[in-house]
Amino acid sequence: MANLDKHRWSAELELQVQFYDLDPMQIVWHGNYVRYLEVARCALLDQLDYNYPQMQASGYAWPIIDLHLRYAHPATFGQRIKVRASIIEWENRLRIAYVITDSASGQRLSRGTTTQVAVEIASGEMCFASPPVLFQKLGIEQI
């Protein structure tokens, strides 16, 4: 798998911090970063044509079972930020890494990961390996 082009499994978007994202300290409330990750994750999944409606149509739900966030610097009102999402694991679970940076300076504000697993909708059973449809969407031939 060393020669796979992992950059095609990344999406980056720019957002502007809104007033309603702030806490009483006038910085982005920590819980709103999760929403920023969701927006970037959906942009990435759209690129693959495997966002939540396509997942459901393929017979699988992909719940998030783990979320990690590390805050380095706060984001503030009006700040333009970039949110990058990149798939880093796909064989037995879908693991996505995120980096949030200041658009102007490139300074890292936070980073995180989410882990999702495939659950067969019909049976409600968790899959211990990612289903073939994910490999197909990633353009990977299974052996």
pTM of the model: 0.92
- pLDDT at position 2: 36
Give kind and range of the element (H or E) at residue 29. none
Class of domain 6-138: alpha beta
Predicted confidence at residue 141, as pLDDT, reads 83
User: Strand, coil or helix: what is 120?
Assistant: strand
Both tokens of residue 134?
A: 């994910």
Query: Which of the residues in the chain have pLDDT under 70?
Result: 1-7, 143
Q: Alpha-carbon torsion 118, 122, 124, 125, what sign?
A: negative
